Every structure is written in C-alpha cells, then in structure tokens.
Homo-oligomer: A and B are copies of this chain.
Amino acid sequence: MSYGYIGSMKTQPGKREDVVAILLSGLDGLQQVGCIQYTVGVSQSDDVTIWVSEVWRSKEQHDASLQLPEVKDAIGRAMPMLTGDFTSEETTVQGGIGL
C-alpha cells in the first residue's frame, strides 16, 4: 500500500507565496524518486498556512527524498520563512482518484 503524508506549516507574514514557490520548485525530482501525488494548497482561512498532501510508493522513498541535495537545499531556504508551527499525519493509502 502507498504511504500518505499530510502536513501543514505556517509562514512568517507575507512569505507564503515565496514558500509555495520553493515547495513547487523540485517536482520532477520528487516524481523520479517515488512520489505519486504531491499537492500544495494555501489555507482559505488565513494568510500564512500551507497544506501539503503527498502519496509515495513507500515510506522509505519519502524518507530517502529528504536526503536529496536539492530537497535539503529547498528546506534550508524555506525554514527561515516558517514559524515552526507544523502538523503532520502519516497514513496508509487505501485508494482514490489520481493515484
């Protein structure tokens, strides 16, 4: 079964667009290492929250992706624009549309 990850983060005021751009900058690379679905959305209830939903072929591939140089670089660029308020949920994906 595929591995699902749903996470949220909050940005410093005025930085949400910049962080979204970083999150969307390396999609080809993620796909190559096992990412099936990756959706970046901005909350409609405030100006600072970003939600990311991901589906990966396996948790191992997700975890390995965090060690890629380009991913580490993206995280390093985004971090100073984040507040440190994160949520995360791990799931086992059962099915759906677009998988």
Contact = CB atoms under 8 A, between A and B. Distances in A.
A42 B97 CA distance: 16
A97 B92 CA distance: 19
Contacts of A20: 94-95
Given A38-B97, A39-B37, A39-B53, A92 B27 contact: no
Interface of A: 4, 6, 8, 20, 24, 27, 30-31, 35-45, 51, 53, 55, 89-99
Contact of A98 (B44, B93, B98): B98
25 contacts: A4-B39, A4-B53, A6-B6, A6-B51, A6-B53, A24-B94, A31-B97, A36-B97, A36-B98, A37-B97, A37-B98, A38-B97, A38-B98, A39-B93, A39-B99, A40-B93, A40-B94, A40-B95, A40-B96, A41-B92, A41-B94, A43-B89, A44-B92, A45-B90, A55-B98
